[in-house]
Amino acid sequence: MVDNPTGVAVDVLPVRLKGTKYTIVSDFDDTLFFNGESIAAASLDVVGRKLSIAEVKRLPKEIKHKVYQTAYTTYMSYLKPNSRLIQLYRQHAEEGAGIIIMSARGEEFRRETEQLLEEHLVPHKDLILPRDHNMKDEEWKLGELDRILAKEGGNILFVEDRVENIKYIRERLISDRVTYLCVTRDNFLMYI
């Protein structure tokens, strides 16, 4: 479980969203699909040894991009679906929630990303990918979430695997319409 003294472990939709119009905005990598195996295999191809996701993030930009490109194309089949979360999304889509998937993986991986979503029957009304890789992940997500808030009525449940992204966005996006859910491999942790 994530070390977070302000979080409460949850398995269902936060109570404050029940009976309201809401949209789920979900991260893709390591939230909806676990990418550790694809990254390790790709890094072996690109740099000659298996690296963790954290090690890949420290690589020079061109090499890091090549690892991600290889992981998201050649080793796409190594991505493991978060079946528990996908099932939860199906349930909430049936109950009327809109689901938007966002990923910092980039527009150049749209075809592969859509293919995975379709293959695993992940309900969604939109897939948002950046065209500009010059922004940090959390900065890009903050901007997109702000645009979604302006466009969508009702509440937002933002689902993300990186605590630091949630903290960054939560500190800068002042809105009582957003609830944050941190997903680890085994747990859902709500930020209040």
Q: What is the pLDDT of residues 15-70, one digit of tens each?
A: 556 666 889 999 999 999 999 999 999 999 999 999 998 899 899 989 998 999 99
Domain end marker among 45, 76, 107: 76
Question: Quick one: 157 and 105 in the same domain?
Answer: yes
Is 43 inside any structural domain?
yes
Question: Quick one: 122 and 56 in the same domain?
Answer: no
> CA angle, corner 35, sides to 65 and 93, nearest 5?
115
DSSP label at residue 70: H
Query: Which stretches of 72-130 are assigned E, i.e. beta strand?
Result: 80-81, 98-102, 126-128
Whole-number percent of the chain with pLDDT over 70: 86
Question: Quick one: 128 and 145 in the same domain?
Answer: yes
Does residue 8 register a pLDDT over 50? no
Question: Quick one: 48 and 88 in the same domain?
Answer: no
The residue segments making up the domain with residue 65 are 36-76
The pLDDT tens digits of the residues spanning 84-98 come to 899 989 988 998 899
- Among the listed residues 114, 120, 106, the one whose alpha carbon sits nearest the alpha carbon of residue 69: 106
Question: Quick one: 95 and 153 in the same domain?
Answer: yes
Which pLDDT does position 3 carry in this prediction? Answer: 38
Q: How many domains does the chain have?
A: 2
Question: Quick one: 51 and 139 in the same domain?
Answer: no
Is 2 inside any structural domain?
no
Question: Quick one: 99 and 175 in the same domain?
Answer: yes
- Range name among 11-15, 92-96, 107-111, 155-159 with the lowest pLDDT average: 11-15
Mean pLDDT score of the chain: 86
Full-model pTM: 0.86
Question: Quick one: 51 and 119 in the same domain?
Answer: no
Is 1 inside any structural domain?
no
Q: Are 189 and 181 spatial neighbours (Cβ–Cβ below 8 Å)?
A: yes
Taking each helix axis as running N to C, give the angle between helix 61-73 and helix 110-119, from 0 to 180 degrees, rounded to the nearest 10: 40
Question: Quick one: 165 and 95 in the same domain?
Answer: yes
Residue 130: both structure tokens together = 């950046």
Is 41 inside any structural domain?
yes
Which pLDDT does position 17 carry in this prediction? Answer: 62
Question: Quick one: 53 and 132 in the same domain?
Answer: no
| Strand ranges across the sheet with 155-160 | 7-10, 188-191, 178-183, 155-160, 22-27, 98-102, 126-128
Q: Are 163 and 182 spatial neighbours (Cβ–Cβ below 8 Å)?
A: yes
DSSP label at residue 108: G
In the chain, how long is the greatest CA-to-CA distance? 52
Question: Quick one: 121 and 160 in the same domain?
Answer: yes
Question: Quick one: 85 and 69 in the same domain?
Answer: no
Is 29 inside any structural domain?
yes
Question: Tell me, what CATH number does 181's domain have?
Answer: 3.40.50.1000
